[in-house]
Amino acid sequence: MFDYSVFSKEIQQAQDKGLYVRIRTLESPQGSWLVISGKRVLNLCSNNYLGFANEERLKKAAIKAIEEWGVGPGAVRTIAGTFSIHNELEKTLARFKKVEDAIFLQSGFVANQAVIPAITDAQDAILSDELNHASIIDGVRLSKAKRYVWKHRNIEDLEQKLQQADSEGARRKLIITDGVFSMDGDLAPLPGIVELAEKYDAMVMVDDAHGEGVLGDSGRGIVDHFGLHGRVDIEIGTLSKAFGVLGGYVAGKTELVEYLKQKARPFLFSSPLSPADTAACLEAVKILEESSERVENLWKNANYFKAEMKNMGYDIGNSETPITPVMLYDAKLASEFSQKLFENGIFAQSIGYPTVPQGKARIRVMISAAHTREDLDFALEKFRSIGKDFGVI
């Protein structure tokens, strides 16, 4: 009989270090306020940047799609056929991102697994920022290409690694970066990366999971933010954050998308998302195409909250986006701080290793367009009193 105590011991160790992840059970939909264990708490955790997760228009679109198409896709799209609604979402995403085409996948995580091993093999080089998201790291692990990890946002180091890859005879070079780094909220130096890619004839892939719905015109993302349309080869997107639903995609040139439809294993060997998910995603993109109001509210809220936290004396890192890392460094402290916030009506999870490096524990506050000024003031008041009690401000 397998000795399961090896798992219990590791769990105990995580608890001792403040690294045990407590999973809260929600008794209400995602929104500014949640009900957890019968208690109403302000939600500062979710990536539901624009409040779409429980939005009427999206819900109606999902219900209508179920009535029209049923609940399941039958099998993978290459075998059972594809609903026209999947195709429509891909065309709409491509239009929104101002690229030629897109391929819809089951999640942002899966999108990285799909594209990286499909376009690289043992003759190639992958150049990856050291703080890239776990889904990129795992996608890279699925490829036989040689890996070159460059220092976070460090263009000089990237150039050295490109030279090294060339001197080691790489056939194809793929530079990969998060657009917005999800735990710190800082931006990839995309203009510099693109220039280097052009100089060294490399491909650029950016994971825009936290840029969409946040950066650029009406939330078109980091490429739009930097005006780099046509100069970034591959954009990865997720529909689970600002778009409020579920799913992921790869956007770029027609040839790339065609190729992925023949080669990407999650597309070939796993069924697509349901009609309901797909229709809700489509509605979210349409709302963003109609108006930038939600994106503007998101920034108004984020700028207010971040400025007040800074004034209070909190260390909130170098975020350039609504992601607000409240740096506490010590994992145990962060865990206790989060618990205290919860007791005071605020749901804001602590984040520790391995999601962030050792010694960089934090509370990651996620601001949403759906928060009101009263919500933010409530949170600020609690951060003020609890921060004082813990002696961190």
Ligand X SMILES: Cc1ncc(COP(=O)(O)O)c(C=O)c1O
Q: Rule CB under 6 A: choose which of 51, 185, 221, 248 binds ligand X.
A: 248
Nearer to ligand X, 120 or 132 (CB): 132
Nearer to ligand X, 182 or 301 (CB): 182
Q: Is 182 tagged catalytic?
A: yes
The mark string for 218-247 relative to ligand X (x by CB under 6 A, - otherwise) is --------------------x-x-------
Nearer to ligand X, 178 or 235 (CB): 178
C-alpha to C-alpha distance for 49 and 354, rounded to whole angstroms: 24
Q: Which of these, 299, 297, 306, 303, lies nearest to 383 by C-alpha position?
A: 306
Pick the catalytic residue from 97, 146, 241, 382.
Answer: 241
Task: Please identify, among the stretches 14-22, 106-114, 253-261, 270-278, the one whose residues bind ligand X according to the rule CB under 6 A.
Answer: 106-114
Does residue 173 bind ligand X (CB under 6 A)? Answer: no
C-alpha to C-alpha distance for 32 and 368, rounded to whole angstroms: 8
Q: Which of these, 364, 304, 301, 298, lies nearest to 328 by C-alpha position?
A: 364
Does residue 364 bind ligand X (CB under 6 A)? Answer: no
**How distant, in Å, are the alpha carbons of 110, 220, 363, 366, 379 from that of 45?**
22, 23, 9, 5, 12
Does residue 178 bind ligand X (CB under 6 A)? Answer: yes
* DSSP SS3 for 157: helix
Does residue 249 bind ligand X (CB under 6 A)? Answer: no
Q: Rule CB under 6 A: choose which of 32, 92, 107, 338 binds ligand X.
A: 107
Q: Is 241 tagged catalytic?
A: yes
Does residue 153 bind ligand X (CB under 6 A)? Answer: no
* DSSP SS3 for 373: helix
Q: Which of these, 40, 39, 42, lies nearest to 378 by C-alpha position?
A: 42
Does residue 109 bind ligand X (CB under 6 A)? Answer: yes
Does residue 250 bind ligand X (CB under 6 A)? Answer: no
Tokens of 234: 């591959």
C-alpha to C-alpha distance for 276 and 286, rounded to whole angstroms: 15
Task: Please identify, among the stretches 168-176, 206-214, 358-366, 369-377, the one whose residues bind ligand X according to the rule CB under 6 A.
Answer: 206-214
Pick the catalytic residue from 133, 146, 210, 371.
Answer: 210
Which residues 268-327 are close enough to bind ligand X by CB under 6 A?
none
Does residue 210 bind ligand X (CB under 6 A)? Answer: yes
Does residue 209 bind ligand X (CB under 6 A)? Answer: yes
Least CB distance to ligand X at residue 134 (A): 8
Q: Rule CB under 6 A: choose which of 135, 143, 349, 350 binds ligand X.
A: 135
C-alpha to C-alpha distance for 296 and 218, rounded to whole angstroms: 8
Asked if 152 and 99 count as a contact pair (C-beta separation under 8 A), the reply is no
Least CB distance to ligand X at residue 208 (A): 8
Burial class of 195 by CB neighbour count within 10 A (0 to 12, 13 to 18, 19+): middle
- Count of helices and strands (H, E) across the chain: 15, 13
Least CB distance to ligand X at residue 180 (A): 8
To the nearest 10 degrees (0 to 180), the angle between helices 275-290 and 293-312 is 80
Task: Please identify, among the stretches 28-36, 64-72, 167-175, 203-211, the one whose residues bind ligand X according to the rule CB under 6 A.
Answer: 203-211
C-alpha to C-alpha distance for 273 and 19, rounded to whole angstroms: 33
Least CB distance to ligand X at residue 182 (A): 4
10 Å Cβ neighbour count for 15? 12
In the bound state, the residue with its beta carbon closest to ligand X is: 108
C-alpha to C-alpha distance for 107 and 97, rounded to whole angstroms: 17
Nearer to ligand X, 364 or 382 (CB): 364
Catalytic residues: 182, 210, 241
Binding site for ligand X (CB under 6 A): 107-109, 133, 135, 178, 182, 207, 209-210, 238, 240, 248
